[in-house]
C-alpha cells in the first residue's frame, strides 16, 4: 500500500473499533500523558479528579484520600480513571456511530491515520524522554553507599529493582539507547515499522520487569506496550505472511495525515516546530536533572564512616544499645542527592543533613535537610590513617569528638571491579 488511501467498504465492527480506540487513547493521554511537555502542569488543565473519584466511589465502592490520590502509581484513582475512560469511550462510540448514520459520511480511514499519528508521536516522545533518563543514569541513579549499606530484606520489589539497575551503567544505558532509537524511528512514517518492532520488544521486557518486581507503574508500562502493539497491528498481514507463512510481501508505508500539497507543507512546519521544541525542552529538563544529581563539589569526602568512639561533652557514649546515639555516618551516600550526610542510629533511625565543606581547611558544616537551616553542626576533621578519621566539633552548647573507620566505593566487592572478560586472569 502506498500513500494513496484505498477506500473499502467499512464494517460496523471496524467503525466502532477505531472510534473506541481513538476516544480511549485521547482520553487516556489527556493530560497525564503529556510528560514530554515539561512546561505543562497537568493538574492545572485536568478535568478528571472530581468525576474519577465519584466513579470510583459509586461503581467500585472505594474511598479516596483527595489530598494524596497517588495519580500515576497504580492507585485506586488510576484504576477508577481507566474504568471511567472505558465507559466514556463506549458511550462516545455509540453516539458517534449514531451521528455518522445520520450524516452518511465515511472517514474511518482518515480517523485510522489520525489515530496512528497520535500513537506514533505519543509513544515516540515518551520513550525518548524515558530512554534519555536511562542513558544519563537519572532514572535509577548510580550504585551508591546508601544502597551498598542497605540489606536485601529491607527492600520492596521496586527499590530492589532500582538497586539492581543502578549497578550496571552498561545495561541501563544500553536499554535507554534502545528506547531512544525506537522512539526516534516512530517520529517518521517510513521508519515507523522498525521503530514499533524495537519498542514492542523493549516494552514487553519492561512490562515483565514491572510486574515481576511489583513496580508501581505497571499500568503505565502496559498502556505503552499496547500502543506499540497497535502500531504493529497496521502491518499484521505483512508480519503473518513474512514471519509465519514464509511468503514474500510488499512495502507498506503509513499514509500521510495530510493529502494536499498545502496541508503537507503546513504539516512539515508543525512537525519541525514540534521537534525543535522537544529538543530544547528535553535538553533543558535533562540538564537540570543532571546538575541536581551530579553537582557534587566534594567527591573526595564520599564514604561510609563506622563510628568507633563518640565523646559528647566529655562523656564517652555507649554505641551498642541506644537508638539515640549515632553509630555511623555516610557522606555523599545518595546518587540522587549529592552533598548530603546521613547519621544512622541503627534500626532505621536516621538523621538527614545537607552539608558544605572546605577541603583545604578540613571543615564540614551541616544542618537538617528538613527543618531549621540555622541548626548547624560545625566540625573539623583529620585523617589519622588510610581508613581512620577524627571529627571534632560543636552543635549549640554541645561538643563532640568522634573517631571513625571509613570505607569508599572501592572497598565493596560489588563496586571494586568492573566487567571482566577473562574470569580466571587475576
In contact, 127 and 180? CB cutoff 8 Å = yes
| Domain-located, residue 418 | no
pLDDT of amino acid 363:
97
In contact, 221 and 207? CB cutoff 8 Å = yes
Q: What stretch of H or E contains 407?
A: strand 398-407
Which SS3 state, helix, strand or coil, does residue 358 take?
strand
Clarify whether residues 82 and 208 are in a common domain: yes
Clarify whether residues 101 and 152 are in a common domain: yes
Which domain, by its residues, includes 322? 300-412
| Domain-located, residue 163 | yes
Give the separation between CA 3 and CA 194, rounded to whole angstroms: 18
pLDDT of amino acid 1:
43
pLDDT of amino acid 8:
44
DSSP string covering 37-55: -TT--HHHH--HHHHHHHH
Clarify whether residues 282 and 311 are in a common domain: no
All three cell numbers of 165, joined, read 539497575
Clarify whether residues 287 and 393 are in a common domain: no
Last residue of a domain, one of 293, 309, 329: 293
Last residue of a domain, one of 293, 308, 328: 293
Clarify whether residues 93 and 196 are in a common domain: yes
Helices of type H across 258-402: 261-294
Clarify whether residues 287 and 391 are in a common domain: no
Torsion angle in degrees (nearest 10) through CA of 115, 116, 118, 119: 120
Clarify whether residues 401 and 309 are in a common domain: yes
Pairing label, strands 303-312, 328-331: antiparallel
Q: Rounded to the nearest 5°, which phi and psi values hold at 303?
A: 180, 160
Is the pTM higher than 0.75? The answer reads yes
pLDDT of amino acid 425:
64
Clarify whether residues 348 and 260 are in a common domain: no
Give the separation between CA 367 and CA 351, rounded to whole angstroms: 10
| Domain-located, residue 90 | yes
Give the separation between CA 70 and CA 197, rounded to whole angstroms: 32
Number of structural domains the chain divides into:
2
| Domain-located, residue 275 | yes
Clarify whether residues 89 and 58 are in a common domain: yes
| Domain-located, residue 1 | no
| Domain-located, residue 116 | yes
pLDDT of amino acid 5:
42
How many C-beta atoms surround the C-beta of residue 259 within 10 A? 14
| Alpha carbon distances (Å) from 152 to 28, 120, 158, 327 | 36, 40, 12, 20
| Domain-located, residue 417 | no
Q: Rounded to the nearest 5°, which phi and psi values hold at 168?
A: -105, 110
Give the separation between CA 178 and CA 128, rounded to whole angstroms: 9
Query: Which single residue is written with the C-alpha cell 540555622?
Result: 374
Diameter over CA atoms, the chain: 92
pLDDT of amino acid 136:
95
Clarify whether residues 129 and 186 are in a common domain: yes
Last residue of a domain, one of 258, 293, 328: 293
Helices of type H across 68-190: 76-103, 108-135, 145-149, 157-167, 169-186
Of residues 267, 270, 331, 334, the one with CA closest to residue 298? 331
| Domain-located, residue 7 | no
Give the separation between CA 400 and CA 414, rounded to whole angstroms: 34
All three cell numbers of 145, joined, read 553507599
Clarify whether residues 249 and 379 are in a common domain: no
Query: Which single residue is written with the C-alpha cell 512546561?
Result: 39
Q: What is the pLDDT along the chain (426 residues), one digit of tens a residue?
A: 444 444 444 588 899 999 999 999 999 999 999 988 888 888 889 999 999 999 999 999 999 999 999 989 999 999 999 999 999 999 999 999 999 988 877 888 899 999 999 999 999 999 999 999 999 999 999 999 999 999 999 999 999 999 999 999 999 999 999 999 999 999 999 999 999 999 999 999 999 999 999 999 999 999 999 999 999 999 998 999 988 999 998 888 888 888 889 999 999 999 999 999 999 999 999 999 898 888 889 999 999 999 999 999 999 998 876 778 899 999 999 999 999 999 998 777 889 999 999 999 999 999 999 888 999 999 999 999 989 999 999 999 999 999 999 999 999 999 998 888 888 766
The vertex-39 CA angle with 50 and 82, nearest 5°, equals: 35
Give the separation between CA 329 and CA 353, rounded to whole angstroms: 11
Clarify whether residues 194 and 171 are in a common domain: yes
CATH number of the structural domain spanning residue 385: 2.40.128
Q: What stretch of H or E contains 63?
A: none
pLDDT of amino acid 10:
57
Amino acid at each position: 500500500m502506498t500513500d494513496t488511501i484505498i477506500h473499502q467498504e467499512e464494517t460496523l465492527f471496524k467503525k466502532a473499533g477505531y472510534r473506541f480506540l481513538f476516544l480511549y487513547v485521547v482520553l487516556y493521554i489527556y493530560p497525564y500523558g503529556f510528560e514530554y511537555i515539561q512546561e505543562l502542569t497537568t493538574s492545572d488543565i485536568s478535568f478528571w479528579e472530581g468525576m474519577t473519584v465519584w466513579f470510583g466511589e459509586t461503581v467500585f465502592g472505594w474511598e479516596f484520600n483527595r489530598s494524596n490520590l497517588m495519580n500515576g502509581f497504580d492507585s485506586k484513582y488510576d484504576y477508577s480513571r481507566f474504568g471511567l475512560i472505558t465507559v466514556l469511550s463506549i458511550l462516545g462510540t455509540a453516539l458517534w456511530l449514531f451521528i455518522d448514520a445520520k450524516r452518511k459520511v465515511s472517514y474511518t480511514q482518515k480517523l485510522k491515520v489520525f489515530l496512528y499519528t497520535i500513537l506514533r508521536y505519543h509513544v515516540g516522545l515518551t520513550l525518548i524522554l524515558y530512554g534519555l533518563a536511562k542513558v544519563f543514569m537519572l532514572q535509577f541513579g548510580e550504585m551508591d553507599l546508601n544502597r551498598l549499606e542497605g540489606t536485601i530484606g529491607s527492600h520492596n520489589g521496586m527499590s530492589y529493582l532500582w538497586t539492581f539497575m543502578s549497578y550496571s551503567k552498561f545495561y541501563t544505558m544500553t536499554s535507554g539507547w534502545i528506547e531512544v532509537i525506537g522512539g526516534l524511528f516512530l517520529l517518521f512514517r517510513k521508519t515507523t515499522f522498525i521503530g514499533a518492532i524495537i519498542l514492542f520488544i523493549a516494552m514487553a521486557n519492561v512490562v515483565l520487569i514491572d510486574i515481576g518486581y511489583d513496580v508501581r507503574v505497571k499500568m503505565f508500562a502496559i498502556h505503552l506496550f499496547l500502543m506499540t502493539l497497535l502500531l504493529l497491528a497496521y502491518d499484521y498481514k505483512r508480519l503473518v505472511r513474512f514471519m509465519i507463512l514464509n511468503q514474500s510481501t510488499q512495502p507498506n508505508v503509513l499514509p500521510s495525515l495530510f493529502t494536499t500539497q498545502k496541508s503537507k507543507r503546513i504539516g512539515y512546519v508543525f512537525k519541525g516546530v514540534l521537534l525543535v521544541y522537544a529538543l530544547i525542552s528535553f535538553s533543558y529538563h535533562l540538564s537540570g536533572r543532571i546538575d541536581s544529581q551530579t553537582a557534587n563539589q566534594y567527591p573526595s569526602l564520599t564514604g561510609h564512616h563506622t563510628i568507633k568512639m563518640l565523646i559528647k561533652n566529655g562523656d564517652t557514649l555507649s554505641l551498642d544499645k541506644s537508638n539515640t546515639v549515632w553509630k555511623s555516618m555516610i557522606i555523599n551516600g545518595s546518587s540522587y542527592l549529592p552533598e548530603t550526610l546521613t547519621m544512622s542510629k541503627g534500626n532505621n533511625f536516621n538523621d538527614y543533613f545537607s552539608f558544605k565543606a572546605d577541603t583545604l581547611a578540613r571543615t564540614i558544616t551541616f544542618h537538617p535537610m528538613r527543618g531549621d537551616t540555622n541548626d548547624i553542626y560545625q566540625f573539623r576533621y583529620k585523617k589519622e590513617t588510610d581508613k581512620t578519621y577524627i571529627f571534632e566539633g560543636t552543635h549549640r552548647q554541645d561538643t563532640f569528638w568522634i573517631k571513625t573507620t571509613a570505607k569508599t566505593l572501592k572497598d565493596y566487592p560489588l563496586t571494586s571491579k568492573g566487567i571482566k572478560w577473562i574470569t580466571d586472569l587475576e
